[in-house]
A and B are shown apart, each in its own frame.
Chain A
């Protein structure tokens, strides 16, 4: 029995080697398909780790509160374009009180908008970030020059503004900005500080915005009383669960919600860890979707295999007849041709893995060269998947030609010219 397998392998190798060019071209479809899957999985994993690391760098001890109820893992209600006005700055201040949420170190409340800035003859459209004075304490960031506004300036609706580094560059160029007066929409503001450049982290550009005291933003610019988000920084990541509960209890009390199940909440509380999970889920979905797209080319490669195997069966009709004449059973011929198809796709798969890995490594090198914190990771699972899928493609697309070969009548096959 064992020697029969050796014979099958030998025959397959001889058949493949006798048509080297054709075998290679047939493999090409599989090579490209498997290579593409490997590259996309590796690049996807690299990009994912990049995003996750950036989000982590913002701090994993942050908790966000947004208005409106949303499902556990679903999108927040505000994404749907619904404006919910239940969350206020007083809520934020209440959370900061130690008797309510002892683990909170500081909070910042936001009301954001967009607007045009004017200075001298320069004009620039940017994001108006109305925030309370706890911004730097919660979100981090450094001042390049000047200072951030105080809680007193916030409360007294002072028209002061802190510029992001991009905005400073666009409006003032090399000139000194601090102390200058600029027009924000229709109001005159005094520039009291400029933030140091921070770059784009987790798809958010930290430099293309200006900071305006929350109250000024609410009353003077927008005429509203609610906030769009509250961010709280807690003392340690380990206390997240407790802080989340305390925040919910405090807000329910303030909003007079008696339902403790959370179903009636008019707010949503999420920790950074939950956000990380969500980002992972989303990026995973994206990664696998792209990999599935790449795997489609495996299908095309498989059809190529089937095509060439059908040609091989026709070419080798007399050989099949002879084998049957000397005692080969239907199953022997079937397994012979199936093995050949699987051999082609498996070798193609191996080439694809090597090629895909090299390409992924190259991409990682380029990304690192460009200054990204990029991890080169070809996961074992993607390699196993690629090998498995390419063998499966061989089995599936080799089956029809192999069946055709095995069902040839010996007399007909021997007579074939």
Chain B
């Protein structure tokens, strides 16, 4: 199993007040899956994604990623794991300002231990998301949809084991949103494991499996019977 969490709990302390966010979640995600984590805001789905993406630590419970127990790793080991195993796509794109598309995509490689031809690798993934013509544009010179495609290229560039997409279509118009979902589906078809976090059922139905979270508990985990396929002309709503 790629991801295996057991009785995962998370609570935040603000002074004396303890807020419990995750009340003990357990599930497994295998390689090549396309899972949507769904839930309304405040359900704990973002916290869950942060923990799964190694941006945050669970308060208790176990988390095994690619065969390795990661809940006890040091900050630097976590950074290395994020670099090698995980790609992120954020709702707000989070691209570096005043920097070219190519430089943005190369960013994870500059922190990687292994040496690769960074330019070649970055150009490859940019071409796979259809942005070969935008290599030397600055990130403020391209459209929102293109920005998110740059972010996807950046997530892919170090060949991660899993890609986390946190509301990737949230800041996009419907047409760009469909393009992004199409790319994610194609990536999944090519064998990439994708975990999509969203509050929209419609978007979630582009995945193959939905894990529903409510009030910090897993309420439903099911396969999607009528899966949606993103294509030109479809309206995302």
Contacts and interface: CB of A to CB of B under 8 A. Distances in A.
Given A14-B99, A411-B50, A329 B80 contact: yes
A325 B95 CA distance: 12
Interface string B24-60: 0000000000000000000000000010010110000
Contact of A327 (B82, B96, B99): B82
B88 interface: yes
Interface string A6-20: 010010001001100
A54 B106 CA distance: 66
Interface residues of A, number: 25
A324 interface: yes
Interface in A322-351: 322-332
Given A322-B96, A325-B82, A410-B55, A330 B107 contact: no
A157 interface: no
Interface string B76-96: 100110111000101000101
A105 B193 CA distance: 103
A326 B50 contact: no
A414 interface: yes
A326 B90 contact: no
Given A3-B118, A411-B50, A411-B55, A328 B98 contact: no
Interface in A1-55: 3-4, 7, 10, 14, 17-18
Given A326-B111, A328-B111, A414-B90, A319 B96 contact: yes
A318 interface: yes
B147 interface: no
A69 B170 CA distance: 92
Contact of A322 (B56, B79, B94): B94
A324 B86 CA distance: 12
Interface of B: 50, 53, 55-56, 75-76, 79-80, 82-84, 88, 90, 94, 96-99, 103, 106-108, 110-112, 118, 154, 158
Given A4-B110, A327-B84, 6 more contacts: A3-B118, A324-B79, A325-B88, A329-B80, A330-B79, A410-B56
